[in-house]
Structures are given as structure tokens and as C-alpha cells.
A and B are shown apart, each in its own frame.
Chain A
Amino acid sequence: MTAPTSTPKIQLIGVKKRFGPKVVLDGVDLTIDKQSSLVIIGGSGTGKSVTIKSILGIIKPDEGTILVDGEDVTHISGAARDRVMKKFGMLFQGSALFDSLPVWENVAFGLIQGRGVPRAKARDIAIQKLAKVGLTEDVAFLSPSELSGGMQKRVGLARAIAADPEIIFFDEPTTGLDPIMADIINDLIISTVKDVGATALSITHDMVSARKISDKIAMLYGGKIIWQGPTKEIDHSGNPYVEQFIHGRAEGPIKMAVKA
């Protein structure tokens, strides 16, 4: 963690987004310090994904400001957007690997297409990055569809870190994995983020994973951040919503919405 005086890596100020009549984000304020790891927790359909996609510019917020390194990126597009996107890497929930390309080309994609690295060099880097997530060279020439879910997650992670991003997003990194593979992915997340010195933002509802990979946790409910603090304080939040969520109780102030 850096001193609080420096510019935060990412800052969201009063971000609002609605889809038709449904208000998803209702004024989200969030600050992510350089080289810190923040996890946003919250139930399904509370707008965790919308928050991440807003920062990436995939979804345009209706109101509010998003700053990356102090630069307002809320409404930029085209070449300016591409330049900012080069700071990011993301591990998608379903890995989102390109099934038309072999594993190594998936990992090298951002290098070849986004940064113009020659293919042969990009392949060497891809094989190095695959080694970092515990995959051998022979996996590099397989098609993503030949891999198991856990292996695909590793490839997705290698792709996210391939271009040494300053910021890495993790969307439900352990969802759909068995507990052992989930723990392996958690360890890989911690080591790779440390390795590249990145700032990490994750969204999850897996509390084991959240506790392990974060140094700060924020909880999103009703379109707002209702609690945030250091991970070690989450058990003493004094917030009934957080209490209910982290203990996974059916009874409590949170009512499950039927529609997403």
C-alpha cells in the first residue's frame, strides 16, 4: 500500500447506471490505491459486473466520473480509450478465451494485436507467462476447448498478465471451480499480482477467495457501496448486511430479487 497522499490508481465518483427502469448503480464511490488489492463483494445482480465494465468503458455510466491515474476516462473513446486499455488486464468469469486461436495466441493476443509485438517474440513471452501459471509448453499449442475449466482459468490469467498490466480485474475468479483448483487460482492471483506489481480489483461472492486475495473489501448493495474496510475488519463490520452476506444466512436485511 502506498501513502494516502498519492493519486489513487482508480477512483469512481458518484457513478450511476440504469437499464430501462432498473437502477443498477445508484452513486458508487470507490477508491483503489496503487498496488492494493480490493475485492467487491455482493449478491448476484447487485451491479458488480456493471461496475467493472464501466471502468473498462464497455458500459457507459449515466452519471458520475471515473478516474484512472487521475485522468478522467468516463467518456473517452477511440485511440484515447485504446491507450488507457493498455494499462488493464482482465480475467473473465468464463475465461472468455478465443476458441478460434490456440492457447499461446490467446495469451499473446494483447501483445500482437494491441502492441504490435512480432509473433515469434510474442510466442516466447506467452510460453513464459504460461509457465508462471503452471502450464507447460505443450499446452500452448492446444485449442482452448481441449482444456478443463481450471486450465482455461489459468490460460485466462496468463492472458491477463501477458502485457504486464498496471491494473488487473478478476471477475468471479473461482466460480465454477472445485475447492482445490479455486485455492490454486487464488494463490496464482496473489503471486502474479505481486509479481507484476499491479493494482487488483476483483468481484466475487466466494468469501474464502475474497479474504485470501484482498487487502480491502467493499460491499455493493442496492447500487451503493454500503461498507468498505481492510479485510481483517470484515468480521467486525457492525453492518447487518455485511454480517448476513459473509455468513451466508438466508435470514436478514438482504432480500433476494427474483429478476437479475
Chain B
Amino acid sequence: MNVFANTGRATLVVLAHIGRLALFTARALAALVSPPIYTRLILSQMMRIGYYSLPVVGLTAFFTGGVLALQIYLGGNRFGAEAIVPQVVVLGITRELGPVIAGLMIAGRVAAAIAAEIGTMKVTEQIDALTTLATNPVKYLVVPRIVAAVISMPILTAIGDSIGVLGGYVVSVYSLDFNGSSYLKNTWDFAHQDDITSGLIKAAVFGFIVALLGCYNGFNSKGGAQGVGNATTNAVVSSSILILAADYVLTALLFHK
């Protein structure tokens, strides 16, 4: 009896969240295509979302590329396929790990910051103040963040991809005794245009998810410090999960034969 009541209640809460998120997305998209466009805010958000995320994305990409090379070498060793390291590293990084690692890092860094900032604005009535100053809060706060994230993420990922491949190269050449120039030649010959673009498309979608969920959770935060804390946590958790779910769907769509 109680089990049914609890299940029902939980289901309703989830459905209400999905409905609210859908409405919020619709409002954001409507605001996206109508003037005014705050170019200044988009540029400053690109600094915060993109540029300042470079160190964290670069470092994680470097180590990911390195560990990938090591694992492929050790795994490939079991059936005499160590030589495949450069090909697998470039494929794994550009198609999958580059965008996903960058996405998850941005989810931790940016979704949290957006949710905390907008959540604080909400509880201190700054969002209501925007309305009284004849400024649409969705247009002023949400649109610049979404645009900035969608533009920044593919750029970040492209840089992350290069650094990831470099990480694989460094480990392979300096620790696994690969020949440097043939490693690079194998990488270059094997990587397709499609591998890279599919990763960058994913990155743009992940950027959209991170900015949208950061804003959504911020706008829906209630109460004081605790409410903002909850909004921040929810933003990070929900955007991370959605990134991985979207990654699967996008992979299935992009490589559908």
C-alpha cells in the first residue's frame, strides 16, 4: 500500500520536473531567437565557461590520453596487438573521451557555478529586480550562457582532443618505446574527419545541457543557502547523467549505418 503511494508520488515528482524542464527549455529557445541579443554578455560568458576551463580540460585530457595508451598497450599485448595504440587512442579520444571528459568537467565547473550564481540571484530577488527593470531574465541570464556554452564546448573539446592525443604520444614514445614519427603518422592516417566532427557535435550538445540545467536549477532554487546548495548539487548530478545519456543517443544516431 505504502509502496504504491511512494512510487506514485516519486513518479509524479519526476514527471513534474520533466514538464517544468521542457517548459523552461521552450522559454529559453523562444528567447534565443528574439532580439535583443546581448553580445557583451555572450563574450564574457565565453571567457568564464570556455577560456577559464582550458586548464582543467587540458589536464584531464592529457592524463586520459596517457592512461588510454597504457591500457591499450597492456591489453593489446595479450594478443600481440600493441602496435594498435595510436589508432585506438585517436579514435577513443576524438569520438568519445574528448567530448565526454570535457563535458563532465564543464558539468562540475560550470553547471555548479551557473546554478549557484542564478540561485543566489533568485533568493535575493535579483531576478525579480530584472523584471521590474523591463528586462526579460531568461533572455538576460539564460540565453548568453547557453550560446556561450554551445560555442565554447566544441572549441574546448578540439583543444582537449589534441592534448589527449599528445598525452598518448608522450606515454607511448617515452615509456613504451614507440617510434615518435610513425606514431604520429599512424594517428594522422587513421583519424577520419567524421571521428572528429562527431565528437565536436557531441560537445556542442553537452554544452547546451550543462548551461540549460545550470540555469534551470538556479531559477528553481527555493529558500536560502540550503536551497542554493541543493540547486548546485542537482545541476551537477543531472547534467552529468544527461551528458552520458545523450552521449549514447548521439553515438547511436551519428554512427547509424
Contacts and interface: CB of A to CB of B under 8 A. Distances in A.
Contact of B128 (A92, A109, A110, A159): A92
Query: What's the dominant secondary structure at chain A's contact region?
Result: mixed
A174 B152 CA distance: 45
Contacts of A92: 125, 128-129
Contacts of A94: 124-125
Contacts of A163: 133
Interface residues of B, number: 13
Given A94-B125, A96-B124, A98-B126, A113 B135 contact: yes
Nearest to B126: A96
Nearest to B120: A99
Nearest to B131: A58
Contact of A82 (B121, B126, B129, B134): B134
Contacts of A85: 131-134
Contacts of A57: 131
B125 A114 contact: no
B124 A113 contact: no
Contacts of A221: none
Given A82-B136, A113-B140, A56 B125 contact: no
A93 B128 CA distance: 12
16 contacts: A53-B128, A56-B132, A57-B131, A58-B131, A82-B136, A85-B134, A90-B129, A92-B125, A96-B125, A97-B129, A109-B133, A109-B135, A110-B134, A113-B133, A113-B134, A114-B135
Interface of B: 121, 124-126, 128-129, 131-136, 140
Interface of A: 53, 56-58, 82, 85-86, 88-90, 92-94, 96-99, 109-110, 113-115, 159, 163, 169
Lowest 8 A-B CB distances belong to which pairs? Answer: A114-B134, A110-B133, A96-B125, A96-B129, A90-B132, A85-B134, A113-B135, A92-B125
